Amino acid sequence: MTASLVIAPQWIGDAVMTEPLLRRLHARGERLTVGALPWVAPVYRAMACVDEVIEFPFAHGGLQFRARRSIARQLQGCFEVAYVLPNSLKSALLPWLADIPKRVGYLGESRVGLLTHRLKNLKNRPPMVAFYSALSGDTDVAHDVPQLQVPAPEVSAVLSKLGLAPHSYVVMVPGAEYGPAKRWPTQHFAALATALLSGEAHASANATNNIAASPVSAVLLLGSGKESEICASIAADVVQPSCGARLLNLAGSTSLDEAMALIAGARQVVSNDTGLMHVAAALHVPQVAMFGSSSPEHTPPLSDVATVIWLKNDAQYHPPLDCAPCFERDCPLGHLRCLNDITPQRVLAALA
């Protein structure tokens, strides 16, 4: 069995999208150890194909050469192959310093000498799952779909702490660390949460003969500490119902492990194009995802129970969004029509 080290990307969504690659490597007999930063390590612990996860004590920015060299010395002689998934120079340093014989990755940041097997970055980059899966050397990677698993006891333990029953609540993910041009307006999230808590979605579902639907017991706001202000703004605008349903603002108060458990136990997830969107897709939880400045053709939620709302490809929307996708952090035109014009009613109908 080949001992392989995988250098993981630093973003949650990217980490999820590497799972098909790791599953391919595992299936052909490679024993996988993933080196990941602490905030993405839980994603790899939820992958059945991963044998071990090492948490690297690195921070954002800088080479941190001394720390990488120290860890590399500990790993010398342990691995035959390294897969370097990020395109940065620093991510390729550790496998090189550890003298791992075969080092696979994409060309980038002047790291030609650090890699032994180099793939060219295509000018028109494919969807990210296929981009990562191609590092396996296989060519049939177009239809790979990420898969994650959260053990049922872990889900039950987290739900029990909050007094939640499985599949009785909706999770909302209002943040997007990349920037405002990927965030559906907070007032829209608040209006949608108010409608869900008041039972409007249940009434709509009954009107369409969806008898499986029932009123939600809670709406959960999930996000990091950086998104606490966004979630607090939403919570302040939600009209609390008299029926006992509740809004729980959990931004900044859950670990990624707990957030993944809450998503695994949810009835549905509503999100922007962000990391937890990909987690929900990989856990096969029904979801609605709103896209603005980014493109679902590049980073879609890969699940047959995911609904994407993107006004760019909506033939009924006028005037057409010729500016999308711009991939900017802030709307360069100042109007953010791509997200402002996705109404809460449209998302509510998609949930029904």
pLDDT digits (tens, 9 = 90+) for 164-179: 999 999 999 999 878 8
Number of Cβ within a 10 Å radius of residue 97: 18
* 212 pLDDT tier (thresholds 50, 70, 90): very low
pTM: 0.93
Indicate the range of 18-22, 34-38, 283-287, 327-331 predicted with least confidence.
327-331
Tell me if 249 sits within 8 A of 157, measured CB to CB: no
Tell me the pLDDT band of 203, cut-offs 50, 70 and 90: low
Task: Please list the alpha-helical segments (H only) found in the chain.
Answer: 12-17, 19-27, 41-45, 65-75, 89-97, 128-133, 152-162, 186-198, 200-207, 228-237, 256-264, 275-282, 337-340, 344-351
Least confident of 36-45, 201-210, 242-251: 201-210
98 falls in which pLDDT band (50, 70, 90)? very high
Residues 21 and 4: beta-carbon distance below 8 Å: no
How is 216-265 classified by DSSP, letter by letter?
-SEEEE---GGGHHHHHHHHHH----SSS-EEEE-TTSS-HHHHHHHHHT
Question: How much is the pLDDT for 177?
Answer: 79
Preceding amide of 153 cis, omega within 30: no
pLDDT at 236: 96
When pLDDT is averaged across residues 258-280 and rounded to a whole number, the result is 97
Q: Specify which residues 240 forms β-bridges with.
A: none
Q: What is the pLDDT of residue 351?
A: 95
User: What is residue 97's predicted lDDT score, i.e. its pLDDT?
Assistant: 97
CB 304 within 8 A of CB 321: no
**Whether pLDDT at 62 is above 80:** no
pLDDT greater than 70 at residue 256 = yes
* Dist CA 258 CA 253 (whole Å): 9
The pLDDT of 139-164, averaged and rounded, is 95
Question: For the residues 68-95, what does the mean pLDDT come to?
Answer: 96
Closest CA to 352 of 188, 201, 181: 201
Residue 40 has pLDDT above 60, yes or no: yes
* % of the chain residues with pLDDT over 90: 82
Q: In what side-by-side order are the strands of the sheet with 117-119?
A: 52-55, 30-36, 2-7, 81-84, 102-106, 117-119
CA dihedral (292, 133, 138, 110) positive or negative: positive
Q: What is the mean pLDDT of the chain?
A: 93
Please tell me the distance from the alpha carbon of residue 205 to that of residue 215, in angstroms, as a whole number.
Answer: 10
> Does residue 333 carry a pLDDT above 50?
yes
pLDDT of residue 209: 44
Handedness of CA 51, 54, 59, 61 (dihedral sign): negative
Q: For residue 54, give Cα distances in angstroms to 9, 37, 71, 190, 327.
A: 13, 8, 10, 39, 32
Of all residues in the chain, what percent carry a pLDDT higher than 70? Answer: 96
Question: What average pLDDT score do residues 317-327 get?
Answer: 92
pLDDT(143) > 90: no
pLDDT for res 201? 60
In sequence order, the 6+-apart residues with CB closer than 8 A to the CB of 46 are 148, 149, 150, 260
pLDDT of residue 121 exceeding 90, the answer is no
- Identify whether the C-beta of residue 39 lies closer than 8 Å to the C-beta of residue 67: no
So what's the pLDDT on residue 33?
Answer: 98
The mean per-residue pLDDT over the stretch 225-231 comes to: 94
In this prediction, residue 244 has a pLDDT band, given cuts at 50, 70 and 90, of confident
Nearest to 132 by CA among 256, 47, 51, 75: 47
* Assigned token pair, 106: 């994409």
Whether 299 contacts 127, CB under 8 Å: yes
User: Is the pLDDT reported for residue 245 higher than 80?
Assistant: yes
CA 258 vs CA 20, 153, 165, 192, 254: distances in Å:
23, 12, 15, 24, 6
Give the domains, in start order, of the chain with CATH numbers.
2-136 (3.40.50.2000), 153-351 (3.40.50.2000)
